[in-house]
Amino acid sequence: MSAPSLDAPRSKRQITKNNFELNAWLFMRVSGVVLIILVLGHLLIMNILDGGVHRINFAFVAGRWSSPFWQIWDLLMLWLAMLHGCNGLRTIINDYASKHATRMTLKGLLYVATVLVIALGTLVIFTFDPNIS
C-alpha cells in the first residue's frame, strides 16, 4: 500500500472493493451528532453544575452508576467517542506520516490503544461494585 494520493484530474474513477472510507466519513458525522448530547451533557453535569469536579468522588460515581440510565449513557459515550477519535487520528496519521513503516507503526499503536481502552472502560462499567473495599 502506498501513501494515499490524489488522482490526476479527469482520470477514471477507481473501482474499490467496498465503501469503507465513505462509511467512515458518514460515521464521523452521525457519531458527532450523538456525541453533542452525550459529551456536552457529561461536561455540564460533571464539571460545571453544582460544584463541578469538586464534588466528584467514589460515592458520587456509585450513586450515578446505580442507575441503568447513566450506565448506558457512559457506555455509549465511551464507544462512540473512542471510535470517533480513533478514526479521526487515523485520518491525521494518513495525512502526515508519509513513510510506509511509520504510518503502519502509528496506526498499529492507535488501534491497540483504542481496543484496550474500550475494553477497560466497558469492563469497569459492567463490573462496578459499590461495596468494594
Partner 1 sequence: MAKSAAGTLYRGNDGMWSWVAHRVTGVLVFFFLLVHVVDTALVRVSPEAYNHALELYKTPLVNLMEVGLVGAVLYHALNGVRIILIDFWAKGPKYQKGMLRGIIVVWLLVMIPGAYFMLIRTFESLFGSTS
| Per CB under 8 A, 32 contacts partner 1 | yes
| Per CB under 8 A, 80 contacts partner 1 | no
Distance of CA 119 to the CA centre of its chain: 12
Distance of CA 88 to the CA centre of its chain: 9
What is the smallest separation between the CB atom of 95 and partner 1, expressed in angstroms? 9
Between the two ends of the chain, the Cα-to-Cα distance in Å is 52
* Residue 22 binding partner per list ligand HEM, partner 1, none, with a CB distance cut-off of 5 to 8 Å that depends on partner kind: none
What is the smallest separation between the CB atom of 129 and ligand HEM, expressed in angstroms? 27
x-or-dash string of contact with ligand HEM, 67-106, rule CB under 6 A? --------------x--xx--xx-xx--------------
What is the smallest separation between the CB atom of 73 and ligand HEM, expressed in angstroms? 14
Distance separating alpha carbons of residues 42 and 58, to the nearest angstrom: 17
Cell of 115: 481496543
Distance separating alpha carbons of residues 85 and 73, to the nearest angstrom: 18
Answer yes or no: are the C-beta atoms of 77 and 35 closer than 8 Å: yes
Distance separating alpha carbons of residues 69 and 128, to the nearest angstrom: 15
Task: Write out the residues near partner 1 by the rule CB under 8 A.
Answer: 29, 32-33, 35-36, 39-40, 43, 47-49, 51-54, 56-59, 61, 78, 81-82, 85-86, 88-89, 92, 113, 117, 120-121, 123-124, 127-129, 132-133
